[in-house]
Amino acid sequence: MKSFKSFLREHQEAPPATQAFNVRVVSPSDGNAFQQGLMHEKDMPLDEGMFFIFEDEDYHGIWMKDTHIPLDVVWINESGTIVDITTLQPHDLRGATPREPAKYILEVNAGEFSGRVGDRVGDSISTLIKCQKE
């Protein structure tokens, strides 16, 4: 499985997005943490988020079961292009899937993400990474 650091290194040549977006992310390191995501969290600093790395590109969906924080959810394909963005509200069980296959999902506080569909994230997200494990 590719780490977020590896992902950024591979996409350093990507054209910059219209605005920079700085966030520290945690990438879940095991199956349980991956499934839990931000469930049960009551708040999250505005400059933090969670970054999910999937083995394959697909229509990876998420839901807000037991999630107390409204989130901007950003789906990113393997080439580093944002393919979909949505804002989800706490405890919404309907779930959401991207319009196109994605390999990565970024979750940040609702209203904080400044990118757009079509932006490349290799340059638009500069991070201080707090990975639990690589």
Give the full edge-to-edge strand order of the sheet including 82-88.
82-88, 71-76, 102-109, 48-58, 21-26, 125-129
The fold for domain 4-129 equals Jelly Rolls (2.60.120)
For residue 33, give the amino acid letter.
Answer: A
The reported pLDDT for the residue numbered 40 is 79
Q: What is the pLDDT of residue 30?
A: 65
pLDDT at 51: 85
Given this model, what pLDDT does residue 29 score? 67
The predicted-structure confidence for 108-118, as pLDDT tens digits, reads as follows: 899 888 888 99
Per residue in 11-60, pLDDT tens?
444 444 434 456 666 666 667 777 777 777 888 888 788 888 888 999 99
pLDDT tens-digit readout, 69-87? 999 999 999 888 899 999 9
Supply the DSSP string of 64-133, one letter for each residue. Answer: -TT--S-EEEEEE-TTSBEEEEEEE-TT--S-B--SS-EEEEEEEETT-----TT-BHHHHEEEEE--S-
The domain limits of the chain are: 4-129
Burial class (CB in 10 A: 0-12, 13-18, 19+), 18: exposed
Report the half-sphere exposure of 113 (CA within 13 A, side-chain side): 26
